[in-house]
């Protein structure tokens, strides 16, 4: 067990140490910059800080909890601390491990919103604020090493100043369970650290090497597995091998969230929850139904982190059966999905396996079917599509506009994101605001109109059984109304 003055402190900035009022969709709000409502109100609405006990967060990002669990397993003295309470814990710190998702706002959602508002996104502001805080500087002066990791680690290849100036000592990129102990031991022994520590797919841990989390995760997130079998060209996950957790491991992590964290909510996480337990792109009915029956017997509500339109479209009956299990306890559930493009030609070029078990050229129809099935099942997609993919033509954009039109009556959010060079396309150029043409503008406005059209009914569904939170619901409705007005004003100017 850790002592009160541990040598290793783990933390993350405020935008990550939040449960987003128990709605992961609101987490998208951290990608926006300051806007038309005061920062204090915006921060409360979209990323309120999690509760703490003596400065220790009641829940923390899942990735950070995995690192904590691995270090505890190897006998290190480690604590995860809320960023607002670091001052009580840094006295003896020799390593400060910082988890990050999007440290400089280079992720697709933040890049897009930053270019619209021409300001730095909240998540980048809070990351730089944490790194530059007097407490971290003081700890650094006293010899502590700063080690950063998490899904946003790739961004330090594009912005190197913090490493060049030795403000950050090491950035770890990849699945770290098998190497983090050795790295932290070197740091504790005062050995020199590499500025970048890259973990290859070959070094990725096997399922049996991944420890269970020891403390609750944000919104009860538990992993179902890692990797993805679809291999889209623009995605970082492509390089990771596909592995699924056995059911008993998932149940143990749920128990950590329910028994220690007293959580009523669980978020099932994988790149495609519909493919749980499957070695390919065809859902395994038995495993998926069994998983949901067990999970729903243990918690009040669930959400999915991600699923694919193709898996949904391939098994409408299975989705209906899942919805019958899930909707016994909740009005709807959500998942992020990648819509990416409405163009069959582009789909074939950059994501040939995304439509599997259907053919790549059937992608637009697969997407329409998937949206329809999700609407009927009250599975609400927060869909993202990519603006400015390499080789995108005007015809591709028109096809995407048409697809967004076709799914207008399906309950969903659709978020357009600028292309960011990742995965096998990492050497391509970034898509910049200056390249936005009239068709892109039409597409982006159409997505905004679509999402704002559905926001009110989603809010009504979300707050249906939470009468005590009506003021919060009204605040979101006022925010959505203001956003709608701003977008319509911009639209009337831009599309003249
Ligand atoms: S974009 Fe989604 S479906 Fe495609 S490789 Fe990445 S995780 Fe898999």
Q: What pLDDT digit, counting tens, does each position of 333-343 carry?
A: 999 999 999 99
Confidence band (pLDDT; 50, 70, 90) for 219?
Answer: very high
What distance in angstroms lies between residue 97's CA and the mean position of ligand 1's atoms? 28
Is a pLDDT exceeding 60 seen at residue 1? no
Verify whether ligand 1 is closer than 6 Å to residue 109 (CB atom): no
What distance in angstroms lies between residue 35's CA and the mean position of ligand 1's atoms? 31
Mean pLDDT of 239-256: 93
Confidence band (pLDDT; 50, 70, 90) for 494?
Answer: low
The rounded percent of the chain whose pLDDT value lies above 70 is 97
Confidence band (pLDDT; 50, 70, 90) for 496?
Answer: low
pLDDT tens-digit readout, 154-197? 999 999 999 999 999 999 999 999 999 999 999 999 999 999 99
Mean pLDDT of 446-469: 83
Residue 52 burial by CB count (10 A; 0-12/13-18/19+): exposed, middle or buried?
middle
Confidence band (pLDDT; 50, 70, 90) for 134?
Answer: very high
Confidence band (pLDDT; 50, 70, 90) for 464?
Answer: confident
Mean pLDDT of 198-203: 89
Is a pLDDT exceeding 60 seen at residue 495? no
Question: Among 3-17, 215-229, 293-307, 471-485, which stretch is predicted with the lowest mean pLDDT?
Answer: 471-485
Mean pLDDT of 245-256: 97
Task: State which of 108, 151, 227, 228 you would mutate to test the pocket of ligand 1, scoring each by most atoms of that ligand within 8 A of its C-beta.
Answer: 228
Other CB atoms within 10 Å distance of the CB of residue 451? 21
Verify whether ligand 1 is closer than 6 Å to residue 450 (CB atom): no
Task: State which of 243, 278, 309, 338 you would mutate to test the pocket of ligand 1, scoring each by most atoms of that ligand within 8 A of its C-beta.
Answer: 338
What distance in angstroms lies between residue 73's CA and the mean position of ligand 1's atoms? 31
Verify whether ligand 1 is closer than 6 Å to residue 237 (CB atom): yes
Is a pLDDT exceeding 90 seen at residue 110? no
What distance in angstroms lies between residue 237's CA and the mean position of ligand 1's atoms? 6
pLDDT at 122: 94
Confidence band (pLDDT; 50, 70, 90) for 389?
Answer: very high
What distance in angstroms lies between residue 247's CA and the mean position of ligand 1's atoms? 23
The answer to whether 235 and 228 are in contact (CB under 8 A) is: yes
Is a pLDDT exceeding 80 seen at residue 68? yes
Verify whether ligand 1 is closer than 6 Å to residue 425 (CB atom): no
Atom of ligand 1 nearest to the CA of 234: 1
Phi, psi of 159 (to 5 degrees): -130, 110
Verify whether ligand 1 is closer than 6 Å to residue 108 (CB atom): no
What distance in angstroms lies between residue 107's CA and the mean position of ligand 1's atoms? 15
Atom of ligand 1 nearest to the CA of 308: 3
Is a pLDDT exceeding 60 seen at residue 365? yes
Mean pLDDT of 201-210: 92
pLDDT at 4: 66
pTM beyond 0.75: the answer is yes
pLDDT at 3: 55
What distance in angstroms lies between residue 487's CA and the mean position of ligand 1's atoms? 30
pLDDT at 338: 96
pLDDT tens-digit readout, 425-441? 999 999 988 899 999 99
What distance in angstroms lies between residue 236's CA and the mean position of ligand 1's atoms? 8
Atom of ligand 1 nearest to the CA of 354: 3
What distance in angstroms lies between residue 257's CA and the mean position of ligand 1's atoms? 27
pLDDT at 467: 63
Mean pLDDT of 217-243: 91
Atom of ligand 1 nearest to the CA of 228: 8
**Which residue puts its alpha carbon closest to atom 7 of ligand 1?**
271
Is a pLDDT exceeding 70 seen at residue 115? yes
Mean pLDDT of 84-100: 94
CA angle, 118 as apex, 114 and 119 as ends, to 5°? 70
Nearest alpha-carbon partner for 107 in 16, 243, 9: 16
Verify whether ligand 1 is closer than 6 Å to residue 37 (CB atom): no
What distance in angstroms lies between residue 243's CA and the mean position of ligand 1's atoms? 14
Verify whether ligand 1 is closer than 6 Å to residue 152 (CB atom): no
Question: Among 87-91, 286-290, 466-470, which stretch is predicted with the lowest mean pLDDT?
Answer: 466-470
pLDDT at 90: 92
pLDDT at 57: 97
What mean pLDDT value characterizes the chain? 92
Confidence band (pLDDT; 50, 70, 90) for 480?
Answer: confident
Verify whether ligand 1 is closer than 6 Å to residue 231 (CB atom): yes
Task: State which of 229, 231, 232 you would mutate to test the pocket of ligand 1, scoring each by most atoms of that ligand within 8 A of its C-beta.
Answer: 232
Verify whether ligand 1 is closer than 6 Å to residue 232 (CB atom): yes
Is a pLDDT exceeding 90 seen at residue 105? yes
Atom of ligand 1 nearest to the CA of 351: 4
Does the N-terminal peptide bond of residue 357 adopt cis geometry, omega within 30 degrees of 0? yes
Is a pLDDT exceeding 60 seen at residue 12? yes
What distance in angstroms lies between residue 475's CA and the mean position of ligand 1's atoms? 34
**Which residue puts its alpha carbon closest to atom 6 of ligand 1?**
235
Mean pLDDT of 53-75: 96
pLDDT at 51: 94
Confidence band (pLDDT; 50, 70, 90) for 36?
Answer: confident
Is a pLDDT exceeding 70 seen at residue 2? no
What distance in angstroms lies between residue 338's CA and the mean position of ligand 1's atoms? 8
């Amino acid at each position: 067990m850790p002592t009160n003055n541990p040598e290793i402190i783990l933390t993350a900035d405020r935008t990550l140490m939040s449960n987003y009022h128990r709605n992961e969709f609101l987490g998208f709000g951290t990608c926006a910059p300051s806007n038309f409502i005061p920062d204090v109100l915006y921060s409360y609405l979209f990323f309120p800080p999690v509760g703490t006990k003596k400065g220790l967060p009641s829940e923390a990002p899942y990735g950070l909890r995995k690192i904590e669990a691995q270090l505890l397993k190897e006998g290190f003295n480690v604590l995860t601390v809320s960023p607002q309470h670091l001052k009580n814990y840094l006295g003896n710190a020799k390593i400060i491990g910082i988890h990050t998702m999007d440290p400089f706002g280079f992720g697709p959602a933040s890049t897009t919103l930053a270019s619209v508002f021409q300001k730095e996104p909240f998540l980048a502001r809070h990351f730089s604020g944490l790194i530059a805080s007097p407490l971290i500087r003081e700890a650094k002066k006293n010899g502590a090493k700063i080690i950063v990791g998490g899904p946003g680690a790739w961004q330090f290849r594009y912005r190197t100043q913090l490493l060049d100036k030795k403000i950050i000592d090491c950035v770890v990129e990849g699945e770290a369970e098998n190497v983090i102990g050795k790295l932290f031991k070197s740091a504790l022994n005062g050995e020199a650290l590499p500025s970048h520590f890259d973990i290859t797919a070959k070094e990725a841990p096997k399922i049996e090497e991944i420890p269970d989390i020891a403390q609750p995760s944000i919104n009860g997130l538990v992993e179902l597995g890692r990797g993805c079998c679809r291999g889209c060209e623009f995605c970082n996950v492509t390089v990771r091998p596909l592995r699924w957790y056995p059911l008993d491991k998932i149940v143990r992590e749920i128990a950590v969230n329910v028994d220690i964290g007293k959580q009523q909510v669980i978020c099932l996480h994988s790149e495609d929850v519909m493919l749980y337990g499957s070695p390919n792109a065809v859902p395994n009915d038995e495993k998926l139904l069994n998983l949901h029956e067990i999970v729903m017997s243990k918690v009040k509500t669930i959400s999915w982190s991600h699923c694919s339109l193709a898996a949904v479209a391939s098994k409408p009956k299975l989705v209906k059966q899942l919805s019958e299990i899930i909707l016994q306890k909740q009005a709807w559930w959500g998942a992020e999905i990648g819509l990416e493009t409405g163009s069959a030609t582009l789909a074939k070029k950059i994501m040939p396996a995304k439509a599997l078990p259907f053919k790549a050229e059937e992608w637009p129809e697969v997407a329409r079917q998937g949206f329809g099935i999700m609407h009927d099942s009250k599975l609400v997609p927060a869909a993202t599509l990519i603006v400015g993919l390499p080789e995108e033509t005007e015809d591709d954009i028109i096809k995407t506009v048409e697809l967004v039109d076709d799914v207008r009556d399906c309950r969903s959010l659709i978020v357009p994101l600028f292309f960011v060079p990742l995965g096998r396309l990492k050497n391509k150029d970034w898509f910049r605001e200056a390249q936005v043409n009239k068709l892109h503008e039409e597409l982006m406005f159409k997505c905004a109109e679509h999402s704002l059209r559905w926001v009110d009914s989603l809010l009504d569904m979300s707050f249906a059984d939470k009468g005590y939170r009506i003021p919060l619901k009204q605040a979101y409705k006022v925010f959505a109304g203001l956003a709608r007005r701003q977008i319509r004003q911009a639209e009337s100017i831009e599309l003249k």
